[in-house]
Amino acid sequence: MTNGTQVLEAAREQKLYAFLVSQLNKDFKRAGLDSTFDQVSSSEKFLRDLEAALYELVLSDFENYLTLLYAIDVSEAKIKALPDSEVHEFVQRVSVLILEREFKKVQFKNRT
């Protein structure tokens, strides 16, 4: 598994970063969540903001967390395959799965 920064850098290299952020915002909204992410943020800030939003959902609104994973279409098998860990480590791993899935979506939509 890659890390979140690698996924975001690959998106920047392919000039798909703005599309990835837009897709994530769209899926958060589709899941009924208010979190939005800024396209001009650094990759590090974007990743911190995503992890903070996920952390809050896991701890206080697990049903909406599951709704978000469904809206994004993160593989249930991949979530179940994550090793047992502390919440913050789990959230970091889930954020990578989310970014990888969103990146695949935008790559598919923007292929030439």
Structure tokens at 48: 């911190």
Share of the chain above pLDDT 90, in %: 90
| Locus of tokens 């860990």 | 85
pTM (2 d.p.): 0.93
Residue ranges, the chain, pLDDT below 50: 1
Predicted pLDDT of residue 112 = 58
